[in-house]
């Protein structure tokens, strides 16, 4: 019994290491002073971050991804929150249908959704012009995360609070603004952060729908990695990881502890 438990504990530790190792290795590699991805690093240095900062392609890609993610998140937050309100408060018998519909983009294979969108936009004559297809794809990918998070925080809240506000003379809109919104702010923040990260990192949609010209970060990174093995990619990845961590920390500080 003792032995079995010790083995189980060891196994768990190994799995936790397994989870963290590839990420840790990327971050460590980015501080490598050497020319190639050697391990252990040949001394510590920030040279690959400097290289990265001088590389317009990656800088552009990061900015491009951040803007795209911010816009997609904004749209998803509005649409997803409305849908969550409907699902939790008004859907009644269709609730299950609504949930499945909203989660479709998450359940369906991303790459297939991307391809389906590609055909669709070509056939309605829009193609990949003006990045409409790419943007639509990103909104689709992020929508389920906003929906799930807002739904959870709405379900944890007593509907009676909204009704109380109505009985006190608040219109539907005012009750939402003054009562519901402050109460679900943490859910909105979590959903927003999730959406931002998903959009920032998503591959399939961007890969298929990027069109010509500048491309989001994961695509630039992928293209680069197919032919290069310098630690510059690791530096880019580290910056990207710091970006997402910052988003999480900021959201947590702003909304995490309240409510």
Partner 1 sequence: MSRRRPLLLIAPAAALIFFFVMLPYINVLVMSLRMPGSEGKPFDPGFGFEAYAQFFTQDYYLSALPHTLWLGIITTAVCLLLGYPLALHIATASRRWRGILYGIVLSPLLVGIVIRSYGWTILLGNTGVINKTLKDLGIIVRPLKLMYNDFGVVLALAHVFLPFMVLPLLSSLQGIDPAIGQAARSLGASRLTVFRRVTFPVSMPGVQSGCILVFVLAISSYVTPALIGGMRVKTTTILVVDALIDQFLWPFGSAMAFVLALSAGLIVIAFAMLTRMKWK
Partner 2 sequence: MTEVSLLSLVKSYGGAPALRGISLSVGHGQFVSLLGPSGCGKSTTLRCIAGFEEVTDGRILFDGKDISRKLPEKRDIGMVFQSYALFPHLTVAQNLAFGLEMRKVPKAQIAERVARTLDLVQLTPYAERYPKALSGGQQQRVALGRALVIEPAILLLDEPLANLDAKLRDEMRGFIRDLQKRVGITTIYVTHDQNEAMTMSDLVVVMFDGAIAQAGTPEEIYNTPSTEAVARFVGNANILDLPAANPGAGTIDLTLPGGASLTIPAPEKPAARLGIMARPEQIALTGAGQGHLGGRVTRRLFGGGYIDYEIATDFGVLAVQTPANVLADEGQAVGLLLDPARLWPVARDAAA
69 binds, among partner 2, partner 1, none (CB under 5 to 8 A by kind): none
Q: Sign (positive/negative) of CA torsion 248, 73, 240, 63?
A: negative
CA distances from 152 to 87, 106, 186, 247 (A): 11, 17, 10, 21
Q: Going residue by residue from 180 to 209, which x/- string records binding to partner 1, judged by CB under 8 A?
A: -----------------x--xxxxx--xx-
Q: Which one of residues 15, 100, 164, 245 is an interface residue with partner 2 (CB under 8 A)? A: 164
Map tokens 């400097």 to a residue: 50
Q: Taking CB under 8 A as the rule, does residue 125 contact partner 1?
A: no
Q: Which one of residues 26, 175, 189, 251 is an interface residue with partner 1 (CB under 8 A)? A: 26
Closer by beta carbon to partner 1, 106 or else 185: 106
Query: Are residues 173 and 162 in contact, defined by beta-carbon separation less than 8 angstroms?
Result: no
- Beta-strand (E) ranges in 98-241? none
44 binds, among partner 2, partner 1, none (CB under 5 to 8 A by kind): none
114 CB-near residues (< 8 Å, 6+ apart): 137, 204, 205, 207, 208, 209
Q: Which two tokens stand for residue 12?
A: 């768990």
Q: Which two tokens stand for residue 34?
A: 């050497």
251 binds, among partner 1, partner 2, none (CB under 5 to 8 A by kind): none
Q: Taking CB under 8 A as the rule, does residue 171 contact partner 1?
A: no
Q: Which two tokens stand for residue 225?
A: 């990695």
> How many residues does the structure list for the chain?
259
Q: What is the DSSP letter of 34?
A: S
Q: Which one of residues 51, 214, 244, 252 is an interface residue with partner 1 (CB under 8 A)? A: 244
Kindly identify the residues of this chain, within the stretch 169-198, that bind partner 2 according to CB under 8 A.
169-171, 174-175, 178-179, 182-183
Q: Which helix (H) or strand (E) holds 234?
A: helix 232-251
Closer by beta carbon to partner 2, 130 or else 177: 177
Q: Taking CB under 8 A as the rule, does residue 158 contact partner 2?
A: yes
Kindly identify the residues of this chain, within the stretch 67-96, that bind partner 2 according to CB under 8 A.
93
Question: 259, 103, 248, 106: which is closest to 189 by C-alpha?
Answer: 248
Q: Which one of residues 62, 68, 72, 140 is an interface residue with partner 1 (CB under 8 A)? A: 140
Burial 193-225 (b: 16+ CB within 10 A, else e): bbbbbbbbbbebbbbbbbbeebbbbbbbbeebe
- For 87, phi and psi rounded to 5 degrees? -60, -45
Q: Going residue by residue from 71 to 90, which x/- string records binding to partner 1, judged by CB under 8 A?
A: -------xxx-xx-xxx-xx
Count of residues near partner 1 by CB under 8 A = 76
Cβ at position 170, least distance to partner 2 in Å: 5
Name the site residues for partner 2 (rule: CB under 8 A): 93, 158, 160-161, 163-171, 174-175, 178-179, 182-183, 258-259
């Amino acid at each position: 019994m003792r032995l079995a438990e010790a083995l189980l504990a060891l196994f768990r530790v190994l799995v936790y290491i397994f989870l963290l190792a590839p990420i840790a290795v990327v971050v460590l590699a980015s501080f490598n002073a050497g020319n190639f991805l050697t391990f252990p690093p040949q001394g510590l240095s920030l040279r690959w971050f400097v290289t990265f900062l001088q590389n317009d392609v990656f800088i552009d890609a990061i900015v491009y991804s951040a803007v795209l993610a911010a816009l997609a998140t904004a749209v998803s937050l509005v649409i997803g929150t409305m849908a969550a309100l409907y699902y939790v408060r008004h859907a009644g018998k269709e609730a299950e249908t609504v949930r499945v519909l909203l989660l479709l983009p998450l359940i369906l294979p991303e790459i297939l959704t991307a391809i389906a969108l590609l055909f669709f936009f070509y056939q309605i004559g829009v193609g990949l012009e003006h990045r409409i297809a790419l943007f639509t794809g990103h909104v689709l990918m992020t929508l389920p995360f906003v929906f799930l998070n807002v739904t959870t925080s709405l379900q944890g809240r007593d509907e009676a609070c909204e009704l109380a506000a109505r009985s006190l003379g608040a219109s539907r809109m005012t009750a939402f603004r003054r009562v519901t919104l402050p109460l679900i702010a943490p859910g909105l923040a979590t959903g927003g952060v999730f959406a931002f990260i998903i959009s920032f990192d998503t591959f399939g949609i961007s890969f298929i729908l990027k069109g010509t010209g500048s491309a989001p970060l994961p695509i630039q990174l992928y293209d680069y990695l197919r032919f290069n093995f310098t630690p510059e990619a690791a530096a880019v990845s580290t910056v990207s990881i710091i970006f997402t961590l910052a988003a999480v920390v900021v959201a947590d500080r702003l909304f995490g502890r309240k409510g």
